[in-house]
Amino acid sequence: MYSKRELQVLVISDVHLGTFGCHAKELLHYLKSVNPKTLILNGDIIDMWNFSKNYFPASHMDVLRQIMKMASYGSKVYYITGNHDEMLRKYTDLQLGNLEIVDKLVLDIDGKKTWIFHGDVFDSSIKGYAKILAKLGGKGYDLLILINRFINWLLQLFGQEKMSLSKKVKDGVKKAVSFVSDFESTAAELAIEKEYDYVICGHIHMPQIKNVSNDKGTVTYMNSGDWIENLTSLEYNNGCWQIFNYDQNYLDLIYQKDYFNQEDIVAKILAS
C-alpha cells in the first residue's frame, strides 16, 4: 500500500465534469495520491452549462465519489461556485458534514489572510445576453478539444510534439484584449485594498503564482489553472504554496510498493 502525500491545503478548479475535455481519470489518480486537511473546489467543477444526460461517464462520477470519500475521511471540503456551476449558488452556505457550498471564502492559513473565489465576477462576457453567446462558445470549445485530441494522436503517430489548438485560440484573443492581465490586476488590487495576504482564483485556466505590488501594498496572486489543458492545482504545505503539474509517470512512482524515498519523488513532481 502506498503512502498518500499529506497536504495542509489543496485547491483545484475548472474541472468541467460532464465535458469531453475533462481529464477525469488523471484527476482521480491525483486525488487518490493526496490527503489534504482542507480541499477547496474553486468553481466550475461540474459543467452545468454544457451538461448532457448523454455524456457523464463513470470516470467523471468517480471524481465526485472520491471527493465525497475525502470529506467522509476527515478532509474539510469547500465547494466555491463558479459560472459553469452557478446553479449551485441557490444552495450557498449549505453544509453537509465536512462539505460546504459557498460563493467565496476567507481563510486564515498560518496567520495569512487568504481570499478565495472563482473569478467570474470580473468577466463581463458572461453578463446579460452575452451569457447565451458564452454558453454557445462553450459547446464550440468542447468540439475544439475533441478535434485537438485527434490531431495530437496523429502528431504522436508521426513522432511530432503535441499542440493545443484551444490554447492558441484563447491566447490570441486574450492578448488582443489584455484579458488575463486585467483579470490578475483587478483581483490583486482588490485584495490589497482589503488587506489580504493571498488571493486565489480560477476561471481563466492560467496557473500562476506571483507577487503584485502597488502604492498601497503587496499581495500574492494565485490561480489554480484547470483540468482541461494544464492539469494543475495549488498545494500548500509548511508555509509554502506550489503549483502542482500532473505527470502520469511521476504519479505512477507513488503507487509503486517498493519505492524507498518518497521525499525525492515529491520533489521531482513539484519540479516538473
Per-residue pLDDT of 67-122, as tens digits, reads 999 999 999 999 999 988 889 999 999 999 999 999 999 999 999 999 999 998 87
What are the residue boundaries of the structural domains of the chain, listed by start?
5-271
Whether residue 31 contacts residue 67, with contact meaning beta carbons closer than 8 Å, is answered with yes
Neighbours of 261 (CB within 10 A): 8
Above 50 in pLDDT, residue 126? no
CATH number of 5-271: 3.60.21.10
pTM, to two decimals: 0.77
* Nine cell digits for residue 223: 490561480
DSSP 21-83: T--HHHHHHHHTTEEEEEEEEES-SB-SSS-BTTB--HHHHHHHHHHHHHHHTT-EEEEE--S
